[in-house]
């Protein structure tokens, strides 16, 4: 895509101010007509204004140039398709049907912090606001693990799992992106200002909403599609059966990106939504950052290290020695002949095996019979 024209930029800025984020009629019309043409029609054509009820009247009150000036003072830039840092992944939103009345790619993004095209590949981590300590710890650990591997953690800045994910990435000097449902001059949720500042240092804070805008439920719903569209996949760490995180999960599925769920105690209602996603096959189960990357990385980008249980004493035995050991009864003693029969081996090789096992401290000869030692019973 070539560098966008100034007219295109102004048109998209105006549309961004005029439309509610993710208004599917607005994004569909822009897609069909182009931003400049849509704006021209909104200005001149009563018919278009009818289709887009709210946009018409709003058009007369917005002041794009002054808003841009205000944003610049705040260190916030407006980025549109065609700009080098525009995330191409957002185009997938064009083909996806709306969810909860929101959809389509944004007209532009308000961004504070690093250039998005200079950050690594990213994965979204989302979940309950009312997270448990377990959920928050797990989100932070997974975020730290993927951040340490050079991946960017995308989340929504909310209390609970979102903030734990951002913090987990920051704690290992990793990069994270906060995607908000309000203007970047506003601090929501209350008290999140210092966290957003920290995120913007090496990462970025992003919103579809211009400075001054307050969050609302539909804006959260619109925002969720951006989180899903910015990550290669989405990890849901805790979500009750009606959690807002499930909207982000649905968007991830709609965009055909990997949806991953972290399990928790079945007694925790905060894990119920995640378990249900896994149970019905909508999400794959993951338990670590390693497994997250295995699911979202392209072939060769990341290799899962084989999960290994700690080595046991048994592992150092020969097959024959194991056969003999496994035939020694538990809790009683047995003769060499009994053990040979149970093992299906001859007397001589059984006796040799028992001698070796005695040397290894796994069996002992006592009261005219062989017994397992406590070492053997410990595995």
Among 309, 359, 367, 374, binds a second copy (CB under 8 A): 309
For the window 174-203, what string marks contact with a second copy as x by the rule CB under 8 A? Answer: --------------x-x-------------
- Within 10 angstroms of residue 294's Cβ, the number of other Cβ atoms is 18
| The Cα angle at residue 167 between residues 185 and 293, in degrees rounded to 5 | 115
Give the total of residues touching a second copy (CB under 8 A).
61
Among 42, 111, 262, 296, binds a second copy (CB under 8 A): 262
- 53 part of the interface to a second copy, by CB under 8 A: yes
Shortest distance, position 96 Cβ to a second copy, whole Å? 20
Q: How far is the CA of 194 from the CAs of 72, 174, 190, 297, 332, in angstroms?
A: 20, 16, 10, 31, 66
For the window 59-98, what string marks contact with a second copy as x by the rule CB under 8 A? Answer: ----------------------------------------
Residue pair 272/242 in contact (Cβ under 8 Å)? The answer is no
Give strand pairing partners of 43. none
Which one of the spans 155-163, 165-173, 212-220, 251-259 is the region binding a second copy (CB under 8 A)? 212-220
**Percent of the chain that is helix, strand, coil (3-state, to 5):** 50, 10, 40
Among 74, 303, 332, 348, binds a second copy (CB under 8 A): 332
3-state secondary structure of 150: coil
- 296 part of the interface to a second copy, by CB under 8 A: no
Which residue in 68, 32, 39, 34 sits closest to 56, CA to CA? Answer: 39
Chain position carrying tokens 């690594």: 120
Shortest distance, position 237 Cβ to a second copy, whole Å? 10
Which one of the spans 82-90, 147-155, 195-203, 260-268 is the region binding a second copy (CB under 8 A)? 260-268
- 242 part of the interface to a second copy, by CB under 8 A: yes
SS (H, E, C) 325-376: HHHCCCCCCECHHHHHHHHCCCHHHHHHHHHHHHHCCCEEEECCEEEECHHH
Judged by the rule CB under 8 A, the positions of this chain that interact with a second copy are 20, 23, 53-54, 57-58, 101, 134, 137-138, 188, 190, 213-218, 221, 240-242, 262-267, 271-272, 275-276, 278-279, 284-288, 291, 307-309, 312, 323, 325-332, 334, 340-346
């Amino acid at each position: 895509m070539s560098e966008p024209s100034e007219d295109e930029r102004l048109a998209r800025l105006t549309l961004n101010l005029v439309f509610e984020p993710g208004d599917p009629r607005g994004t569909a019309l822009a897609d069909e007509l182009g931003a400049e043409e849509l704006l021209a029609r909104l200005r001149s054509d009563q018919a278009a204004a009818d289709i887009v009820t709210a946009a018409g009247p709003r058009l007369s009150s917005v002041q794009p140039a002054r808003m841009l000036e205000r944003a610049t003072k705040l260190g916030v830039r407006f980025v549109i398709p065609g700009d080098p840092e525009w995330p191409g992944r957002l185009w997938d939103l064009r083909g996806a049907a709306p969810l909860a009345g929101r959809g389509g790619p944004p007209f532009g993004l308000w961004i504070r912090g690093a250039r998005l095209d200079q950050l690594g590949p990213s994965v979204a981590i989302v979940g309950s606001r009312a997270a448990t300590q377990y959920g928050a710890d797990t989100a932070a650990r997974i975020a730290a693990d993927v951040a340490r591997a050079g991946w960017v953690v995308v989340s929504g800045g909310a209390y609970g799992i979102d903030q734990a994910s951002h913090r987990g990435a920051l704690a290992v000097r990793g990069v994270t992106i906060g995607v908000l449902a309000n203007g970047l001059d506003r601090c929501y949720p209350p008290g999140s200002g210092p966290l957003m500042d920290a995120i913007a240092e090496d990462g970025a804070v992003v919103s579809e909403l211009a400075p001054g805008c307050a969050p609302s439920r539909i804006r959260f719903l619109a925002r969720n599609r951006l989180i899903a569209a910015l990550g290669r996949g989405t990890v849901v760490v805790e979500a009750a059966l009606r959690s807002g995180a499930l909207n982000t999960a649905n968007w991830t599925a709609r965009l055909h990106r990997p949806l991953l769920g972290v399990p928790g105690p079945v007694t925790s209602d905060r894990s119920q939504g995640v378990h249900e996603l896994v149970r019905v096959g909508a999400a794959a189960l993951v338990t670590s950052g390693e497994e997250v990357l295995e699911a979202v990385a392209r072939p060769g980008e990341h290799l899962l290290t084989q999960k290994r249980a700690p080595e046991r004493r048994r592992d150092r035995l020969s097959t024959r020695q194991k056969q003999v050991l496994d035939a020694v009864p538990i809790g009683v003693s047995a003769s060499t002949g009994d053990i040979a029969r149970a093992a299906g081996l001859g007397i001589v090789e059984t006796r040799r095996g028992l001698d070796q096992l005695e040397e290894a401290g796994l069996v002992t000869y006592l009261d005219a019979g062989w017994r397992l030692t406590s070492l053997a019973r410990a595995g």
